């Protein structure tokens, strides 16, 4: 009897546990509101995140072109009047590495600026150095020299779903830091002709002029995008804003950190978005994907075995909806990376491993590492005896690099007594070096030092 009773109580308790657990799945967003304990608020999360979002003020000179006024045309001809005009601009930025002081923003925020000032939420202001930019995707990386910075955690934007909450943090109209909220309205948005490379997250969180370069975060305060553009017939927000996905930004920034610029990789295919007409004509059973019209000979896609007529449906296991999405995803990955391409060919699902080839043959411009090295191009290379180092692939005449005595074909194998194996290491050492730097250079069989101040 007693045992029955205890069993009964136990099952009752179990049942009560189950009923209570229904609170757990209470309706969004007021998940705790029924218990009357605490009002749901983004404030606790924002307190941690907002210090990582900075205001950016820029100043510079911009060339303005003016048509010669009619009245002066008979004296000066029909030429254009060109003059430099000072300008000021503002935007936002996100600290992604507190130790190194890396700040991500939009390339259009710092475009043509020669003075970039970063203001933190605690009021400190720093002069920022431009590490590099990629105007095609509108991403730029700055560096500030400061202690006690807060950095943002970067989320995997590939796991986002339409309907997820978003919070935009930035400096609209220079009002000061402002937080707005919304949801993911759409993903993989392209074809807007705002940037050359577009794979935007669309959100209805209010984004306005000055929000550019600011953070779009999720409810955990992790970065999911860099707010970049809006569509607004009157210039203000109408609930349609666009952000560069954080994963794409991360890929681009890691290349900027390594090379000072983005080394854009390409698949080597040309094509269109698959639509019903093409699908019908080509007897393809899907209506979403990229229809490959041409494969560039000798490109990565060609070597891997892709053919015209194939339909690309996935990239690294994630579905691809459009050409602009494919171009943006591939364009942010960097040369030499291997990607897995899912293809529909005659109703068979095939997978290809494609090594991304280089979009064009440009090298790392050394000027982004040290101003005394301007005019030289660097690439990873080897000396004649096989030691890894950084090879000078080009040295412009009368450039600072040439004046140091550097020549094409030289290989930098060390700085001071530290060995250098590749461009990334060299950049890292040069960014930390102070005062006189001694580059150890090997030319044919002799090794010599070049001093830069």
Partner 1 sequence: MLCFCEYACSEKNKLMKSLIFVVRSIAYGLALALLWLLLFQQNGVTQLNQWLQPKNQEQTAISYAKAVRAAAPAVVNVYTVTTQQDPRSYQRRIIQNQSLGSGVIMRADGYILTNYHVVNGADQIVVALQDGRQLEAVLIGQDRLTDLAVLYVKADNLPVIPQLPDIEPQVGDLVLAIGNPLNLGQSITQGIISATGRAGLSTNTYTDFMQMDAAINAGNSGGALVNSNGILVGINTAAFQRQRNLEVQGIFFAVPYKLAFTVMEKLVSHGRVVRGYLGLSGEPVINSSGERQYSTAQKFYGMKITEVENLGPAAVSGLLIDDIMVEIQGVMLTSVNQALDIVAESVPDTEVQIVIERRGQRMILPTRIGTRLDTE
Q: Which of 182, 214, 221, 265 binds partner 1 (CB under 8 A)?
A: 182
Shortest distance in whole angstroms from residue 245 CB to partner 1: 16
Beta carbons of 240 and 228 less than 8 angstroms apart: no
Binding footprint of partner 1, residue count (CB under 8 A): 53
Kindly state whether residue 282 participates in binding partner 1, applying the rule CB under 8 A. Answer: no
**Enzyme catalytic residues:** 108, 138, 212
Kindly state whether residue 237 participates in binding partner 1, applying the rule CB under 8 A. Answer: yes
**What are 393's two structure tokens?**
């692939």
Kindly state whether residue 275 participates in binding partner 1, applying the rule CB under 8 A. Answer: yes
Beta carbons of 208 and 195 less than 8 angstroms apart: no
Please enumerate in sequence order all residues whose Cβ is within 8 A of that of 69, keeping only pairs 6 or more positions apart, or say none. Answer: none
State the Cα–Cα distance between residues 297 and 295, nearest whole angstrom: 6
How buried is 53 (Cβ within 10 angstroms: 0-12 exposed, 13-18 middle, 19+ buried)?
buried
Instruction: Give the Å distances, CA to CA, from 308 to 302, 305, 329, 354.
Output: 10, 10, 20, 15
Q: Which is nearer to partner 1, 25 or 148 (CB)?
A: 25
Kindly state whether residue 219 participates in binding partner 1, applying the rule CB under 8 A. Answer: yes
Site string for partner 1, 240-259 (x = CB under 8 A): x-------------------
Q: Which is nearer to partner 1, 183 or 388 (CB)?
A: 183
State the Cα–Cα distance between residues 53 and 301, nearest whole angstrom: 40
Shortest distance in whole angstroms from residue 40 CB to partner 1: 9
Q: Which is nearer to partner 1, 105 or 227 (CB)?
A: 227
Subset of 10-49 contacting partner 1 (CB under 8 A): 10, 12-13, 16-17, 20-21, 23-24, 27-29, 31-32, 35-37
**What are 383's two structure tokens?**
């000396």
Kindly state whether residue 175 participates in binding partner 1, applying the rule CB under 8 A. Answer: no
φ and ψ at residue 18, rounded to 5 degrees: -65, -45
Beta carbons of 211 and 170 less than 8 angstroms apart: yes
Instruction: Give the Å distances, CA to CA, from 89 to 50, 110, 112, 168, 283.
Output: 21, 8, 10, 20, 53
Q: Which is nearer to partner 1, 29 or 176 (CB)?
A: 29
Cis peptide before 29 (omega within 30 of 0): yes
Q: Which of 53, 107, 120, 279 binds partner 1 (CB under 8 A)?
A: 279
Look-up: residue for tokens 């510079």? 60
The piece of 9-17, 347-355, 372-380, 429-437 that touches partner 1 (CB under 8 A) is 9-17
Q: Which of 178, 287, 358, 422 binds partner 1 (CB under 8 A)?
A: 287
Q: Applying CB under 8 A, which residues contact partner 1?
A: 2-3, 5-7, 9-10, 12-13, 16-17, 20-21, 23-24, 27-29, 31-32, 35-37, 161-165, 182-186, 189, 192, 202, 204, 218-220, 231, 233-234, 236-240, 275-276, 279, 287-288
């Amino acid at each position: 009897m007693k045992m029955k009773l205890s069993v009964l109580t136990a099952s009752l308790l179990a049942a009560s546990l189950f009923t209570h657990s229904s609170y757990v799945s209470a309706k969004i967003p007021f998940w705790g509101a029924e218990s009357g304990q605490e009002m749901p608020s983004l404030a606790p999360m924002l307190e941690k995140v907002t210090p990582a979002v900075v205001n950016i003020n820029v100043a510079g000179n911009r060339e303005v072109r003016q048509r010669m006024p009619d009245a002066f045309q008979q004296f000066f001809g029909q030429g254009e009047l060109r003059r430099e005009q000072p300008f000021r601009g503002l935007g936002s930025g996100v600290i992604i590495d507190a130790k190194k002081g890396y700040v991500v923003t939009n390339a259009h925020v710092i475009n043509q600026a020669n003075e970039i000032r970063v203001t933190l939420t605690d009021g400190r202001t720093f002069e920022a150095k431009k590490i590099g930019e990629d105007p095609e995707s509108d991403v730029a990386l700055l560096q500030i020299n400061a202690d006690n910075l807060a950095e943002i955690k970067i989320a995997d934007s590939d796991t986002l779903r339409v309907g997820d909450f978003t919070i935009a943090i930035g400096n609209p109209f220079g009002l000061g830091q402002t937080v707005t909220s919304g949801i993911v309205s759409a993903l993989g948005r392209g074809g807007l002709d705002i940037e050359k490379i577009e794979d935007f997250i669309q959100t209805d969180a209010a984004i306005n002029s000055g929000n550019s370069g600011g953070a779009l975060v999720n409810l955990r305060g992790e970065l999911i995008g860099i707010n970049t553009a809006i569509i607004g017939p009157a210039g203000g927000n109408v609930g349609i804003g666009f952000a560069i996905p954080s994963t794409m930004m991360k890929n681009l920034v890691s290349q900027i950190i390594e090379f000072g610029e983005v080394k854009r990789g390409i698949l080597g295919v040309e094509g269109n978005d698959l639509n019903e007409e093409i699908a019908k004509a080509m007897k393809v059973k899907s209506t979403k994907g990229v229809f490959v019209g041409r494969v560039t000979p000798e490109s990565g896609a060609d070597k891997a075995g892709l053919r015209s007529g194939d339909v690309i449906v996935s990239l690294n296991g994630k579905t691809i909806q459009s050409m602009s999405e494919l171009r943006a995803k591939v364009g942010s990955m960097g040369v030499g990376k291997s990607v897995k391409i899912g293809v529909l060919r005659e109703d068979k699902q095939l997978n290809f491993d494609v090594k991304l080839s280089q979009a064009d043959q440009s090298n790392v411009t050394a000027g982004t590492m040290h101003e005394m090295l301007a005019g030289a191009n660097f690439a990873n290379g080897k000396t004649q005896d096989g030691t890894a180092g950084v090879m000078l692939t080009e040295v412009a005449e009368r450039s600072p690099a040439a004046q140091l005595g550097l020549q094409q074909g030289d290989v930098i194998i060390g700085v001071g007594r530290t060995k250098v194996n590749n461009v990334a290491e060299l950049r890292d050492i040069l960014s930390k070096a102070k005062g006189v730097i001694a580059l150890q250079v090997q030319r044919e069989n002799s090794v010599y030092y070049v001093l830069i101040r």
